[in-house]
Structure 1
Amino acid sequence: MQSETYSRFIQHYSDLLDSFHFYFNRSRLNPEIEDLHNLRVSIKKLRAMWSLLQTVSNGSWKKKEHFELISELFRATGKVRETQVNLIITEKYNADYLVAFNEYLAENQVKAEEKLRAQIQVFNPEELKELDNKMFHAIKEQRSDMEPEQLISFVLKETRKVDKLSKQLPSDRKLHKIRIRLKAVAEILTIASELNPHVVLIDFLDRVRWLNEFIGDWHDYQILLSSITDFLSSGQKEQTTGELEDFITRTTAWQDKKQVEITVLLDRSISHQQMEQIENCL
């Protein structure tokens, strides 16, 4: 007999698969910005679910094959999405010194979209279905054993990893890892708070989502800075090089300041007291 937690998990997983297939099929044609964004988001959420399943499977199932199957498609959507976000940001400035860079971005977007279309063509959804069948067969013993406490334990485990990483800030690489883990925490917390609508879990979910948005804004500008640096080193330097370098300097200073703010927010949001309150929900 399936536990309520397992049934809810399966329903949530099924909804994510539906979302993935919907945006995957829309992206086969001429994907809109939001289509690609939602396709990438659905993959991130599926990856979070696979990570949880690996944890609760007690070694009977590994996420490696799922991750490998989706990796190239995930990477291709990321490249297109990065260019789109860069263009959205630079349009806000409406600066002459960004014109050549925007043209460079537009060229890169065409190339990235070509690679994405190629990945969409070779990706076979039936392979994902086959892997899912293997996955559910491997974890069949968890059908009656999965409980909300396992979801909360996963949240605690990942959150403690975030706390450990936050002690190593400032670091662009560590903050990016924090962002990835917080997205996984948010996805699993969504299910956990539905099964156990404790105010502590709901409040923490709101905090994690807000942190993700705040860090996401920082991440978007990190991608922009990286793209400008690539542009300047690509041999396409224009007479606006000095202005672009000034833009990098100003934005880097702003990014450093924002990372300090994020560190403070993480310390406040993922406190020892907060972890104790979540543990009490077990």
Structure 2
Amino acid sequence: MKKKDEKSHFNDQWEQMLIHFKNFIRTGDQEQLHLFRVQVKKLRAMLELFDVTSTKKQLSKDFKPVRKIFKHCGEIRSAYVNMKLWAQYHFTDEEFLMGQLYEIEKGTNSVKELKNKYLKTIKAAHNDIADDLKHIGNKDIVAFYKNKLDIIADLLSKLQFGNDLHDARKQIKVLVYNRKIARSALEYSKIDISDEYLDKLQGLIGDWHDNILAMQLFSAPELNHKPIITKIKRQDTRFKRTITALAHDFEKKAIVTEKQKV
């Protein structure tokens, strides 16, 4: 991808993030909040790649103020996810539901009150980052992807269902989110990465992680709902079995072909 195309792609992704944030402030819509947070993750992944050619400073550091907004909004998202779990598992504790609704309303109002400050923060972060974006050469992109694939393969080779697996998913998503920028460089280097495989693996790990969060929620002393916990444990066993099979021989499955450059 040419430098002007890289910068245009970055600006487009930033604009999408801003649109979703403004929509959430205006409507309080949870889907807009979710899409804002997804865009933050995409931009963070992109800046990790851009940092490869950054000589003065790490651009990802200039993104930290936006990530603080992301974390603030995460409190609202967590309460909403808890409410969805309440419905999914047919939990009948109305007090629990009202508590989550209260947290959503309180958090949303808090973000709205900080609207002007947060919009200024987002604008300032963009100004700090955009002028320092450097072109990423094919060799740098290929080296970045190979390094990430090695890290993921190492994390999955000694598969443990804990933080390492969650970290492996984060690394996979960095590759997934940078597809557009990296595509031509990978094709030029005759590296064919299976998008379908990476999507399926990271999706399953995400489902497993959500299931763990559900178990933690319903295992809390104030809830401790044993029938739900039993159901979640059965799901956990199924997730582990499927992920173990899918993660086996990660590199062979992730890289469809890697031919010598002619």
TM-score range, shorter chain: 0.7 to 0.9
1:165 paired residue number:
155
AA partner of residue 131 (structure 1): D
The change in CA–CA distance for 1:252 and 1:63 in structure 2 (over 3 A counts) is farther
- C-alpha offsets along residues 119-143 of structure 1, whole Å, 9 cap, x if unaligned? 544222221132124523xx3xxx4
- C-alpha offsets along residues 41-95 of structure 1, whole Å, 9 cap, x if unaligned? 10000000110011233x4331353232122111122222222233223323334
1:112 to 99, 102, 107: 107
AA partner of residue 50 (structure 1): L
1:51 paired residue number:
48
Segment drifting more, 99-108 vs 39-48:
99-108
The change in CA–CA distance for 1:147 and 1:82 in structure 2 (over 3 A counts) is same
- Between 1 and 2, higher relative CO (CA 8 Å, sep ≥ 6) is seen in 1
| Identical-pair percentage | 18
1:219 paired residue number:
209
Segment drifting more, 40-49 vs 153-162:
153-162
AA partner of residue 29 (structure 1): R
Unaligned stretches of 5+ in structure 2?
none
1:246 paired residue number:
227
1:267 paired residue number:
248
AA partner of residue 132 (structure 1): I
**How far 1:281 sits from its partner (Å)?**
7.1
AA partner of residue 52 (structure 1): L
1:258 paired residue number:
239
Question: 8 Å contact 1:73–1:120 — kept in the other structure?
Answer: no
Question: 8 Å contact 2:20–2:33 — kept in the other structure?
Answer: yes
Distance 1:153 1:279 in 2: 15
Distance 2:143 2:259 in 1: 8
1:75 paired residue number:
71
Distance 1:70 1:60 in 2: 20
1:177-196 mapped onto 2 (5 Å cutoff):
177-193=167-183
- C-alpha offsets along residues 229-251 of structure 1, whole Å, 9 cap, x if unaligned? 4xx44xxx4xxx55x13322431
Question: 8 Å contact 1:189–1:201 — kept in the other structure?
Answer: no
AA partner of residue 148 (structure 1): N
1:11 paired residue number:
8
AA partner of residue 173 (structure 2): K
**How far 1:218 sits from its partner (Å)?**
1.9
**How far 1:189 sits from its partner (Å)?**
2.5
- Misfit runs of 4+, over 6 Å: none
SS at match of 1:26: helix
The change in CA–CA distance for 1:34 and 1:46 in structure 2 (over 3 A counts) is same
Distance 1:273 1:210 in 2: 11
**How far 1:118 sits from its partner (Å)?**
4.7
Distance 2:49 2:126 in 1: 18
The change in CA–CA distance for 1:24 and 1:75 in structure 2 (over 3 A counts) is same
What root-mean-square deviation, in Å, do the aligned CA atoms of Structure 1 and Structure 2 show? 3.0
1:131 paired residue number:
128
2:257 paired residue number:
277
Question: 8 Å contact 1:179–1:215 — kept in the other structure?
Answer: yes
The change in CA–CA distance for 1:168 and 1:253 in structure 2 (over 3 A counts) is farther
The change in CA–CA distance for 1:250 and 1:9 in structure 2 (over 3 A counts) is same
The change in CA–CA distance for 1:274 and 1:42 in structure 2 (over 3 A counts) is closer
1:210 paired residue number:
200
Question: 8 Å contact 1:183–1:212 — kept in the other structure?
Answer: yes
2:25 paired residue number:
28
The change in CA–CA distance for 1:188 and 1:133 in structure 2 (over 3 A counts) is closer
Distance 2:261 2:14 in 1: 29
**How far 1:23 sits from its partner (Å)?**
0.9
Aligned residues: 260
2:80 paired residue number:
84
